Structure 1
Amino acid sequence: MAPTFPGESQAYRAARDRLLAREIELRQLTEAVARERRALPPGGVVPEDYVFETSVGGASRPVRLSELFAPGKDTLAIYSYMFGPERAGPCSMCTPLLDGLDAAEPNIRQRLTLVAVAESPAARLAAFAAERGWRNLRVLSTAGNHYNRDYHGKGREGGDTTMLNLFRREGAKVRHFWGTEMAHTSGEPGQDHRGLDMLSPIFAMFDLTPAGRGDFYTKLSYP
């Protein structure tokens, strides 16, 4: 039996019980979609061992995609961060999302490796990560390779765009497993594509409120 709350009307409780049934349906559908995702056939083999750049102590050094997998882990998630050299600053929607992922990364690393990549130089990315206070999330430069082009971190016009891709290591091979393709589709009328909402505690929280998310967009800072 669902709980009741002080002062609620019969009309409220009847509507809330109907909504609860729908929420349970959504939970069941979410798990069904997750099962279908896990059951996908093998994805394509990664065409090359992409070389990224990382900044350590002010010096850049190369790191290959195959080297990003943590020992004993066979899954790698790469977030394409909209922070290319043509931008004066990073994306104001990506950055708060990565704020949350930076905080969650110590938990995430228990099951997989998570990194973010952007086309700005490694030193610029490292400086911003330090300024932002990120302590856990690795941010690598993809400026010298075709990773973003191949895995849709670039739009058709050539500018950076958002994409999260997951890869699976199978022995000596690395295969693409899944990507946030919904981020490259049109949203419902009056909505953005919402392709990364599953990772956003911000918008999940707003969706619980009487006003909803409205036309709110995150910013790098607020007054």
Structure 2
Amino acid sequence: MPGTWLTESSTQEQIMTSHLTGTRDEWLKARLELLAAEKELTRRSDALARQRQALPWVRIDKDYRFDTDAGNATLADLFQGRSQLLIYHFMFGPEYAAGCPTCSSIADGFDGFAIHLAHHDVMLAAVSLAPLAKIQAYKRRMGWTFPWASSLGGDFNFDFDASYSETQQRDAGIEYNYRREPPMTPIPFTMGKESGDASPPVRNAIMSGTDVATYLRQRPGMSAFVHEDGVVYHTYSTYARGLDGLWGMYQWLDRAPKGRNETGMWWRRHDEYAAAAQSVAEPCCA
């Protein structure tokens, strides 16, 4: 329905919008109804957090090893003296030329959180299957400082459903997000690198410098651990849409007037927006 807006010159100009418009009183009535729903969601979220924390702890007896900036480390070492450890399973396989752009947009917030968590007895770190040298180079490119370890050569990523073998993917199918996925059918590269029409797996694979099948042998997730009386326990893992609450930009977009407003994969690594804007501005046939 049409709405009215005063321009800077104070002349009235009719603006067409497809969205409902109304008076301040109408807005307030609708906002109070929404507030009641938001409060109920908050209470439900609090209850889910308590249910999450009540999960049984599973003792970790396997000797997982990682390559870190400080050298070879055990899982217990990753806690760095804290009693709790949150690990983000960052999609960055040995064959990737760069880390997954979607994981990168999530990880952009880690440095800001990590300092606060570390002072609340919680360590935040990322783990990937890529070799440490690749991880270190990518961290420098992105300007990140949070701890990021390589699990290359070990079982950690595979045991926690963040990496899969080509045989699993092609012949047996994989177990991801607590569901069985059938063997993967080939996904061809049909879109150019700058095409917004490409599906996220295709576009992410291209932007990671690999083919789709190789890209999808890594998966995103997060896992929580606790270190108590000299024993490490696994307490929680979540994957796929379970990561939405950790993806800071979406929490903001969900509160923006047009919401997520997506027709495809629009985000890029934070150092790629300027180049993308430049390529759009340039004529196609210079």
Q: Which residue of 1 aligns with 2:242?
A: 195
**Partner residue, 1:96:** 105
Superimposed CA distance per residue, residues 184-216 of structure 1 (whole angstroms, 9 cap, x where no aligned partner) = xxxxxxxxxx22111122001100112111225
Equivalent residue for 1:3? none
Single out whichever of 168-177 and 153-162 deviates more from structure 2.
Answer: 153-162
Give CA deviations for 1:44-80 in whole Å, capped at 9, x if unaligned.
Answer: 2113121101245xxxx31111111222x21111111
1:114 maps to which of 120, 124, 145: 124
For 1:73-222, what aligned pairs fall within 5 Å after superposition?
A: 73-111=82-120, 112-135=122-145, 137-155=146-164, 157=169, 159-181=217-239, 183=240, 194-215=241-262, 217-220=266-269, 221-222=272-273
Kindly indicate whether the alpha-carbon contact (under 8 Å) linking 2:98 and 2:138 is maintained by their aligned counterparts in 1: no
Q: Distance in 2 between matches of 1:8 and 1:106?
A: 44
Runs of 4+ that moved beyond 4 A: none
The gaps in structure 1 that reach 5 residues or longer are 1-6, 184-193
SS of the residue corresponding to residue 125 of structure 1 reads helix
Given the alignment, which residue of 68, 75, 89 partners 2:78?
Answer: 68
Partner in structure 1 of residue 68 of structure 2:
54
Change beyond 3 A, Cα 1:75–1:217:
farther
Alignment pair present for 1:12 and 2:27 = yes
1:35 matches 2:50: yes
SS in 1 for 2:233: strand
- Partner SS for 2:227: strand
The alpha carbon displacement at 1:217 in A equals 4.2
Partner of 1:12, secondary structure, is helix
> Which whole-Å CA distance do the structure 2 matches of 1:95 and 1:8 have between them?
41
Cα drift, residue 165 of structure 1? 0.3
* Structure 2 unmatched runs, 5+: 1-21, 170-215, 275-286
TM-score, normalised via structure 1 length: 0.83
- For 1:173, give the aligned amino acid: V
Amino acid at match of 1:222: Y
1:166 CA drift (Å): 0.3
Are 1:55 and 1:123, in contact at CA under 8 Å, matched by a contact in 2?
Answer: no
Instruction: Report the 3-state secondary structure (helix = DSSP H, G, I; strand = E; otherwise coil) of the residue aligned with 1:17.
Output: helix
